[in-house]
């Protein structure tokens, strides 16, 4: 479910992505085996972009893929504001890809915050997530695996593994 970002883990070709949302134009470009993001105000000249930041992680596999950008705040991730719908082979604003209770309707983009992956997403999309809050927006998060192993939900699998180590028992 969560993987280190690379051309082989992307569900689509990210290179050349350009979209506008909420007064900003976002651009993804490839730098070797890395993907980087820049943005600029919609009314700014095309050469007036923010410093580039790397897409570090990708979350999703079957239907949707989200992209997590370095935030400059320790190991805190910032969500890229667009997600890729794998089945429909198209992009959508990330906040439009989640079903939320009606009371959140007026808060478009409320979940697109620095540290969201560290505070919520990593709990279900990795194995043995430890968010480790530092200060402000900074986390020093660690996980045992980016993928989801049996141990992610079934803690204490040592006994199961030991019991089934013998092929005759399996």
Confidence of residue 87 (pLDDT cuts 50, 70, 90): very high
pLDDT digit string, tens, across residues 32-83: 999 999 999 999 998 999 999 999 999 887 899 999 999 888 777 889 999 9
Confidence (pLDDT) at 121: 74
Percentage with pLDDT > 90 across the chain: 42
Terminal CA-to-CA distance of the chain, rounded, Å? 28
- 29 touches 38 (CB < 8 A): yes
- Domain spans of the chain? 2-163
Mean predicted confidence (pLDDT) in 119-138: 77
d(CA 96, CA 162): 45
**Range 7-16 contact pairs with CB under 8 angstroms and sequence separation of 24 or more:** 7/33, 7/35, 9/58, 10/35, 10/58, 10/65, 11/58, 11/60, 11/61, 11/65, 11/84, 11/86, 12/65, 12/84, 12/86, 12/89, 14/55, 14/67
Is the pLDDT at 125 greater than 70, yes or no?
Answer: yes
Is the pLDDT at 151 greater than 80, yes or no?
Answer: no
CA distance readout (Å), 137 to 41, 59, 74, 133, 140:
24, 21, 9, 8, 10
- Arithmetic mean of pLDDT over the chain: 83
């Amino acid at each position: 479910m969560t993987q280190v970002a690379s051309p082989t883990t992307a569900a689509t070709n990210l290179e050349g992505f350009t979209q506008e949302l909420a007064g900003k134009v976002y651009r993804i470009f490839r730098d070797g085996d890395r993907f980087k993001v820049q943005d600029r105000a919609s009314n700014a000249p095309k050469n007036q972009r923010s410093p580039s930041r790397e897409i570090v992680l990708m979350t999703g596999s079957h239907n949707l893929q989200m992209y997590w950008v370095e935030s400059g705040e320790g190991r805190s991730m910032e969500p890229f504001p667009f997600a890729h719908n794998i089945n429909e082979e198209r992009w959508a604003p990330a906040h439009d890809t989640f079903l939320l209770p009606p009371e959140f309707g007026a808060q478009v983009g409320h979940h697109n915050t620095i540290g969201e992956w560290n505070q919520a997403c990593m709990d279900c999309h990795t194995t043995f997530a430890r968010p480790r809050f530092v200060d402000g927006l900074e986390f020093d998060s660690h996980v045992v695996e980016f993928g989801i192993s049996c141990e992610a939900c079934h803690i204490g699998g040592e006994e199961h593994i030991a019991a089934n180590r013998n092929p005759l028992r399996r």
